[in-house]
């Protein structure tokens, strides 16, 4: 690849695109070192947007690193003897950075060859050799100004208007087009494509809860886009009216959760690093809390991002994972004016997690520490840490019953082709609790693992393997033996990968996604439906835009994993 021509860095200007849409002030721009390359304003803006969309999640908006390595022009480290070592993107240089971006690494970084153009790769390599610009903050007043209500709460229907089995609906993320599809799980019809925030990362519904359970759990769904837009979906409406409200709580965000009583929704920001609590009915922001602070190493962290947020099934709290701090904040929502937050030290860098079958213990991956962390939400303390293979990534996770270890949970890994399985029943099986039961070697690193209480199998993808045939295949593990019983290639079309699973309401079907990494903005993705017992293909649901995460209404609102 050719080295891009000299370019001039942009001064005040607009961040374009579906992601970070804000003005950069002159004060926020970096003072460029002489040896740093320059870019034209147009190339700088385009590369900044590409970085936000493709890189910021792992490497940070300020490029100080997290799951991924720091991407700063110059990094100085001191050894115990005082010797100083200088590394950084400038030392790696243009050509090597282009190769890394294009072809990825064995440590878990994606390859972008064929996804980004050679010019985009070259410009991105140049951009990360320049000091990162610092984005602005967002106030609660700014949030309130973004709120839009499409259906007033007083006009919500008192019964479903469509007459369908809404508890077997699947709400499906259509990633790069900023939409969510609603699919009837009984008929396999795509009912609607709902405009949401860019690259929705996750959706959450009101849940069955042991404390002040909300009316009709699973009816209302809340999405969180990577552009910080939170949307509210009402599955009782006719499809064309299911989007009922929206609000923007950050410029870059990842997760959302509903309080156990259904009164509040919390959204977590990557930038600004904060969480916002909004009224679940009106979507009006009520409170904002910064997550900047001192990490478990005693260092102040400005970009302390909110990774995962979950509602605790038996406590009036949310668990909020502060990625760079290595802390779980257990946030009590019973009194917003006097907000109680228990800060629980554990490991860096926190990503995503799930509860054990009892709903007491929260199990979350600390990617860069190669650990699963266990939080006791009753005592609000760290219960255990479990050492795993490289970069655990369970997604929504999986719990099941093992004949030897009793209740167990499992995770895939970003950095290696293994599924790690550990015991998670400290009451009934204390000898196996929080200890590795066994490991399954798969064909490659993956993103998601999933099962259902009524299924005898666990499904795992291997989306991050560089070989197309393996990227396109999923593997099925027998719960009784811990062995892979079948490898299924979902597609053979170049550029397509297989990712993510979800079971139907009755557990008799497994849905897996196929999407085109090279062209994710056209309706060429599909969902492959399998018989959960025979493992045979039953149907293909087409006409979808990069379908990734799929969420069955009944399973998610009833904690069926």
pLDDT, tens digit (0-9, with 9 covering 90-100), for 413-455: 999 999 999 999 999 999 999 999 999 999 999 999 999 999 9
Look at residue 210 in the predicted model and tell me its pLDDT: 82
Sign of CA dihedral 554, 315, 228, 240: positive
Helix (H) or strand (E) holding 271: strand 264-271
Look at residue 460 in the predicted model and tell me its pLDDT: 98
The C-alpha torsion from 20 through 22 and 23 to 24, rounded to 10°, is -40
Active-site amino acid positions: 55, 58-59, 109, 351, 393
Look at residue 77 in the predicted model and tell me its pLDDT: 78
Look at residue 86 in the predicted model and tell me its pLDDT: 82
Task: Pick the closest to residue 395 from 407, 376, 410 (CA basis).
Answer: 410
Look at residue 199 in the predicted model and tell me its pLDDT: 84
Sign of CA dihedral 417, 418, 419, 420: negative
> Do the Cβ atoms of 229 and 196 come closer than 8 Å?
yes
pLDDT, tens digit (0-9, with 9 covering 90-100), for 456-472: 999 999 999 989 999 99
Look at residue 7 in the predicted model and tell me its pLDDT: 34
Look at residue 115 in the predicted model and tell me its pLDDT: 81
Look at residue 108 in the predicted model and tell me its pLDDT: 65
Look at residue 31 in the predicted model and tell me its pLDDT: 43
Domains annotated on the chain, with CATH = 13-127 (1.10.760.10)
Look at residue 106 in the predicted model and tell me its pLDDT: 66
Q: How far apart are CA 412 and CA 448, in angstroms?
A: 6
Ranges of the chain with pLDDT below 50: 1-34
């Amino acid at each position: 690849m050719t080295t891009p021509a000299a370019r001039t860095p942009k001064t005040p200007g607009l961040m374009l695109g579906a992601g970070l849409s804000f003005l950069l002030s002159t004060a926020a721009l970096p003072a460029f070192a002489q040896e740093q390359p320059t870019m034209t304003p147009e190339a700088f803006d385009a590369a900044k947007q590409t970085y936000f969309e493709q890189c910021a999640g792992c490497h940070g908006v300020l490029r100080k690193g997290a799951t991924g390595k720091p991407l700063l022009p110059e990094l100085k480290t001191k050894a115990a003897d005082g010797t100083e070592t200088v590394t950084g993107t400038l030392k790696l240089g243009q050509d090597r950075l282009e190769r890394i971006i294009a072809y990825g690494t064995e440590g878990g970084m994606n390859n972008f060859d064929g996804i980004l153009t050679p010019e985009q790769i070259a410009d991105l390599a140049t951009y990360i050799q320049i000091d990162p610009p610092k984005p602005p903050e967002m106030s609660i007043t700014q949030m309130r100004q973004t709120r839009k209500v499409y259906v007033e709460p007083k006009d919500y229907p008192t019964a479903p208007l469509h007459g369908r089995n809404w508890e077997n609906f699947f709400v499906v993320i259509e990633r790069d087009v900023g939409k969510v599809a609603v699919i009837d799980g009984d008929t396999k019809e795509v009912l609607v494509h709902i405009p949401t925030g860019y690259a929705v990362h996750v959706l959450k519904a009101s849940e069955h809860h042991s404390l002040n359970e909300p009316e009709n759990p699973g009816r209302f769904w809340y999405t969180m886009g990577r552009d910080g837009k939170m949307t509210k979906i009402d599955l009782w409406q006719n499809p064309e009216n299911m989007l009922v409200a929206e609000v923007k709580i950050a410029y870059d965000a990842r997760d959302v959760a509903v309080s156990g009583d259904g009164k509040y929704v919390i959204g977590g920001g990557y930038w600004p690093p904060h969480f916002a609590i909004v009224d679940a009915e009106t979507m009006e922001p009520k409170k904002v809390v910064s997550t900047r602070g001192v990490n478990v190493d005693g260092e102040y962290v400005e970009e302390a991002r909110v990774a995962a947020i979950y509602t605790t099934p038996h406590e009036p709290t949310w668990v909020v994972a502060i990625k760079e701090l290595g802390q779980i904040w257990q946030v009590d929502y019973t009194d917003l004016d006097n907000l109680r937050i228990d800060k629980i030290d554990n490991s860096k860098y926190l990503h995503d997690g799930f509860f054990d079958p009892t709903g007491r213990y929260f199990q979350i991956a600390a990617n860069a520490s190669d650990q699963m962390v266990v939080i006791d939400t009753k005592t609000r303390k760290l219960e255990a840490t479990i050492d795993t293979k490289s970069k655990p990534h369970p997604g929504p996770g999986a719990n099941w019953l093992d004949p030897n270890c009793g209740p167990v949970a499992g995770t895939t890994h970003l950095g290696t082709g293994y599924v790690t399985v550990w015991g998670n029943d400290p009451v009934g099986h204390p000898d196996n609790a929080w200890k590795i039961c066994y490991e399954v070697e798969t064909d490659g690193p993956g993103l998601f693992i999933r099962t259902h209480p009524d299924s005898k199998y666990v499904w795992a993808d291997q989306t991050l393997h560089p070989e197309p045939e393996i990227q396109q295949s999923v593997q099925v593990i027998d719960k009784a033996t811990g062995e892979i019983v079948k490898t299924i290639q979902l597609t053979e079309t170049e550029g397509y990968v297989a990712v993510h699973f979800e079971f139907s309401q009755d557990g008799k079907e497994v849905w897996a996604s196929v999407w085109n990494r090279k062209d994710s903005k056209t309706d060429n993705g599909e969902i492959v439906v399998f018989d959960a017992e025979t493992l045979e293909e039953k149907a293909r649901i087409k006409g979808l835009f990069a379908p990734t995460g799929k969420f069955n209404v009944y399973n998610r609102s009833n904690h069926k994993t």
